[in-house]
Structure 1
Amino acid sequence: MHLYLNPDLVASYQKKSQKTRVLTETWMTENGYCPNCGNSTICKFKNNAPVADFFCPECDEQYELKSKAGKSLGTNVADGAYHTMIQRIQSDSNPNFFFLAYDRNHYSIKQLILVPKHFITTEMIIPRNKGIKGRPDYIMCSMNLSTLPESGKILLIDQDKVVEPSKVLQKWQDMLFLRKQKSEQKGWLLAILKCLDQLPEQFTLAQIYKFETQLATQFPNNRHIKDKIRQQLQVLRDQGLLEFSSCGQYRQINIKG
């Protein structure tokens, strides 16, 4: 991957938003690859496509690119119309998301993160109070990345360094099972993965039970939180992400790092 944008492309543009779009979309076209099948090329849809920005010509996986000036993405990334975004991520053709942070002064790529679509939930989409002048009902939104478990943020570039593509593809495959889960079950698995982020690689059942109150608030209709926790740990074990040992001991295998 080449880690610099080409400023010559936008010499005739005036608006920052136009410059950003042309610079980053051109960079992604020239440097991006498909994390699903490993194809070395992804193609750009025509401008203003209703579904996504890019697609893989080999496996048809779709991607949207969101860019932000800065050394890292932080927790919130500005997006477009709130209601449109909600409809898109609830549809069968919802895209995966690339989030790109760049240095506006030096035209360099600082960070690139992939969030697979099976990690995207409506709770991540936050409406912004400010509408568009003359269209008060047209509400914009932001995407809150802080709600994601770490396993849902796949690094392709971090701190000016490119992550080996084989590692990216492996992380994608490790969590691909979530795509087949029904909404409620997936919600529970994402919640448990988020809890595991706060635990050491080796942990006990007693340690994860400490999240019982938090999970009860998150899932108020469930009266058997501990049973549900154990059920999700079993699913993660079956997927090769956890290892069980005696006396309620657990080890995370392919979740952290």
Structure 2
Amino acid sequence: MNCYFDRSLAAQYKSVSQKIRVMTEAWVTENIACPRCWGSRLAHLPQNTPLGDFSCPPCGSQYELKSKRGKVGRKIVGGSYDKCIERVMSNDNPDWLVMSYDAAELCVEDLWFVPKHFFVPEIIERRKPLSEHAKRKGWIGCNILFDEIPAQGRIALVSGRIPAARSDVERRVKLAEKLYTGNLGARGWLMDVLACVNKIRDERFTLGEMYAFEPELQVRHPGNNNVRAKIRQQLQLLRDRGLLEFEGRGVYVKKARG
């Protein structure tokens, strides 16, 4: 894999953002196979396609690319807040490819595959409306809180310009699929409790340690008046899906990491 962009593709464009878009999208089609089926390299969709930037011809999966100069960090700038929320809550939202690139050397630094079921409204941050002096006054954008996506949903395809081993990607994709749920409300709780589990450093932890996250989860789910019961329910679900083992007496052991 060559991590450098083809600079010649951007020669006809004046806008820096347009140049980056053309180079990064071309790089994906030349280098990235569908991480869901590995059936072929991703194909570029026509510009302004509402459901993504790329598709996999064999399996039909669709992907949207988000690129950021330098380290991705905590947040990624998204588009319209309302449209982003609408897509997250739909059944046909695309998977994501998140790229960090070196602007000086024009090359990929890191690339992640994020399965679509890891996107929940809680990770979409509403930005302030544009001022009345802006061309699109009143328009409301959003940020994607990348660091709030559980580690199991941030599957590295490239790290530090080094491609990930296919076997490792396949293992992590299979693990991520165990966390799929079509119900949006249930999905939000599952991802939030999983994120709390990930924050506990030890492989073995107690129910009491999980209850310490009760205030945080209450803020994220203000309509629920029995957070502790919900924590126990989600831990059982994670156990049933093979991510945790229950030892009894309120003790859990992590079986699979991202």
**TM-score w.r.t. structure 2 length?**
0.91
Q: How does 1:226-245 map to 2 (within 5 A)?
A: 226-245=228-247
Q: Give structure 1 stretches of 5+ with no counterpart.
A: none
Quote the residue 2:40 is aligned against.
40
Q: Which amino acid aligns with 1:180?
A: T
What is the aligned-residue RMSD (CA, Å)? 1.8
Distance (whole Å) between structure 2 residues aligned to residue 181 and residue 91 of structure 1 = 10
Quote the residue 1:120 is aligned against.
119
Deviates more, 1:75-84 or 1:102-111: 75-84
Question: How many equivalent pairs are there?
Answer: 255
Distance (whole Å) between structure 1 residues aligned to residue 220 and residue 124 of structure 2 = 17
Quote the residue 2:254 is aligned against.
252
Instruction: Give the 3 Å change call, closer, same or farther, for CA 246–192 of structure 1 in structure 2.
Output: same
Secondary structure of 1:129's aligned partner: coil
Secondary structure of 1:4's aligned partner: coil
Q: How does 1:65-144 map to 2 (within 5 A)?
A: 65-70=65-70, 72-129=71-128, 131=130, 133-144=134-145
Instruction: Give the 3 Å change call, closer, same or farther, for CA 45–104 of structure 1 in structure 2.
Output: same
Q: Which amino acid aligns with 2:176?
A: M
Distance (whole Å) between structure 1 residues aligned to residue 228 and residue 144 of structure 2 = 31
Quote the residue 2:147 is aligned against.
146
Distance (whole Å) between structure 1 residues aligned to residue 83 and residue 226 of structure 2 = 36
Distance (whole Å) between structure 2 residues aligned to residue 35 and residue 234 of structure 1 = 29
Secondary structure of 2:142's aligned partner: strand
Q: Once the two structures are superposed, what CA deviation does each residue of 1:1-37 show, in whole Å capped at 9, x if it has no partner?
A: 3211111211232110111111000000001111111
Distance (whole Å) between structure 1 residues aligned to residue 170 and residue 220 of structure 2 = 31
Q: Once the two structures are superposed, what CA deviation does each residue of 1:63-90 show, in whole Å capped at 9, x if it has no partner?
A: 00011111x2111112222222222222
Distance (whole Å) between structure 2 residues aligned to residue 245 and residue 58 of structure 1 = 42
Quote the residue 1:18 is aligned against.
18
Distance (whole Å) between structure 2 residues aligned to residue 211 and residue 140 of structure 1 = 30
- Identity within the alignment, %: 38
**TM-score w.r.t. structure 1 length?**
0.92
Q: Which amino acid aligns with 2:9?
A: L
Q: Once the two structures are superposed, what CA deviation does each residue of 1:188-240 show, in whole Å capped at 9, x if it has no partner?
A: 11111110111122212222121122223322333332222222111111111
Q: Give structure 2 stretches of 5+ with no counterpart.
A: none
2:120 and 2:187 in contact (8 A); partners too: no
Distance (whole Å) between structure 1 residues aligned to residue 236 and residue 171 of structure 2 = 21
